[in-house]
Structure 1
Amino acid sequence: MFDEKRATRRGLALGAAGLLALAGCGTGEAEAVDEVDATDAAGVESLKVEVVETYDHDAGSFTQGLQLAEHPTYGSVLYESAGLYGESDVRITDPGTGDVLATQDLPAEQFAEGLTLTDTDLWQITWQEHTAHRRDPVTLDIVESVSYEGEGWGICYDGAQLVMSDGSSTLTFRDPKTFAPTGTVDVTLDGEPVAQINELECVDGQVWANLWQTDQIVRIDPATGEVVAVVDAAGLLPEEDSAGADVLNGIAAAEEEGAFYLTGKHWPKLFLVRFTPA
């Protein structure tokens, strides 16, 4: 069963702030965002989504970050960061059932964004609170909280460094131990900047990223910032499941090579997918 406490907290959350944030990742006055067009971009793959399996997912989660990993008690799990003021938490879930196995709330004044696992730590970032929490991945307890400049949207770990987005077209690289910035790269498609970069997943030296307010996911070469593939995920959530759902957000590499878990904010479903030529 899904966490009943979450459902109760959702009803009691800070109404005004919650409604404001429902407009998107973290801003209530965001303008509509045009999808990127890879049609005439040389060397850019156009991909579509092939659904392999469909699972239940807690529709109470305003999904901001997602990562598959092994837990010493629960086995293969998804770590998930859920946002909104008064509702934010970090949780461990069963990918096959959607059950919430463990959870820790954030302070009501913090809006949780992306998360990622390093070799030893679980990092969770916040939207406008300039705070990153380094957590114990087993217990979810906060070990340390550090400050950073700018907004926090998505984050992933490539095995050597953290890669973080802030909603712009810039990715920031960070030290996985101290969270200190070590460099940046500007993301472009056919020479044009690609903004609204949100949830991230690092896989085999590449960065996969949700583009907020769109049904697109892009694959970025972090060495150059160039977008090398664009995934069209339109129609992934069936219309009969879309009542109350927000935008696509949440990408996690699956155990099988080339497969990914995808979900969205307040989505009642989690999908195991492959990306195939469009």
Structure 2
Amino acid sequence: MFDEQRATRRGLAFGAAGLLALAGCSTGDAAAEDQVHVDEDAGVEALQVEVLETFDHDATSFTQGLQLAEHPEHGTVLYESAGQYGASDVRIVDPGTGDVLASQDLPAEQFAEGLTLTDTDLWQITWQEHTAHRRDPVTLDVLDSVQYEGEGWGICYDGEQLVMSDGSATLTFRDPKTFEATGTVDVTLEGEPVFQINELECTGGQVWANLWQTDQIVRIDPATGEVGAVVDATGLLPAEEAGGADVLNGIAAAEEDGTFYLTGKLWPKLYLVEFTPAA
């Protein structure tokens, strides 16, 4: 069914100067005061979400990382990292049904965060345990574990280097083989720092990032750190389905250029969307 659907498809938590620094925890849609409004003369694209298709998603998954890929046994799948202490895992998911096809638990004392696939490996990071696991993308087995400084939030691979967030306004570049840091870039919008950068997706030479505690996604130029677009996904999960759900988190480039899979922490739905100019 998923293959048939795919074949028929066509196709901010910020600093000063009116930008908000966020703290605390919320569920469902982020509060209106936490959202960033892009001025028409800011030179930044204001985008909205157009839903193309809706799929079931495991509502017990505290989604921290999401990536679409081909698996030799299961075909087109989503790799997903689910967080929380005592419940963290890495899983392979059927995007059409939400079924978990395979999974491996993390130690109870580790809180899973983002994950990404390189040409040969699956990297999964942890929140405050300073540990990244290099996994076999077929079996999910841990091949190696390395240590890093600071917190781990999101991670993606641009074809040459890993890009990692830690909740600050800085992205760190890492070697995809050793995980050693190779450089950083500060993320800004019109010269102001952008904080709370969370789950990441590298595609088309850009980095798309969820902003924790908001219903917004930003597009970042990794060469300069400049934000070129802000996506408002407010209301993506309908209110009648948001009971028990946490914030928007989880972005994966889909099969067609310009389309993405979006979900959230403890969300019962996964959405195939495209980003269009805001009305």
Q: TM-score, normalised by structure 1?
A: 0.88
CA RMSD for the aligned pairs? 1.6
Larger RCO (CA under 8 A, 6+ residues apart): 2
Gaps of 5+ in 1: 1-21, 26-31
Aligned to 1:83: 83
Percent sequence identity is 82
Give the equivalent residue in structure 2 for 1:231: 231
Contact 1:41 1:189 in 2 (8 A): no
CA displacement, residues 148-192 of structure 1 (integer Å, 9 cap, x when unaligned): 000000000000000000000000000000000000000000111
For residue 243 of structure 2, give the secondary structure of its aligned residue in structure 1: coil
**Cα-to-partner distance string for 1:88-135 (whole Å, 9 max, x where unaligned):** 000000000000000000000000000000000000000000000000
- What residue is the counterpart of 1:70 in the other structure? 70
Q: Which runs of no fewer than 5 residues in structure 2 stay unpaired? A: 1-23
Q: Distance in 1 between matches of 2:104 and 2:242?
A: 27
Any conservation in 2 of the 1:57–1:268 contact (CA below 8 Å)?
yes
Amino acid at match of 2:196: Q
Give the whole-Å Cα distance in 1 for the aligned partners of 2:270 and 2:248.
11
CA contact (8 A) 1:156 1:200 kept: yes
Number of residue pairs the alignment of both structures matches:
252
Change (3 A) 1:144 1:24: farther
**What is the rounded CA distance, in whole Å, between the counterparts of 1:243 and 1:49 in structure 2?**
21
Alignment correspondent of 2:146:
146
Equivalent residue for 2:12? none
| Superposed counterparts of 1:96-175, under 5 Å | 96-175=96-175
Label 1:202 to 1:94 Cα distance change in 2 as closer, same or farther (>3 A).
Answer: same
Q: Distance in 2 between matches of 1:186 and 1:153?
A: 16
| Conservation of the 8 A alpha-carbon contact between 1:36 and 1:194 | no
SS in 2 for 1:152: coil
Matching residue of 2:203: 203
SS in 1 for 2:177: coil
In structure 1, what is the equivalent of residue 25 of structure 2? Answer: 23
1:58 aligns with 2:58: yes
User: Contact 2:25–2:213 (CA<8 Å) still a contact in 1?
Assistant: no
2:34 is paired with a residue whose SS is coil
Q: Which residue of 2 aligns with 1:222?
A: 222
- Deviations along 1:46-76, one digit per CA (max 9) or x if unpaired, are 0000000000000000000000000000000
Once residues 221 and 111 of structure 2 are traced to their aligned partners in structure 1, the CA distance between those partners, rounded to angstroms, is 29
1:181 counterpart = 2:178: no
C-alpha displacement at 1:38, in angstroms? 1.9
Tell me the TM-score normalised to structure 2 length.
0.88
* Residue in structure 1 matched with residue 21 of structure 2 by the alignment: none
Q: 1:24 to 1:90 in 2, by over 3 A?
A: farther
1:240 shift after superposition: 1.1
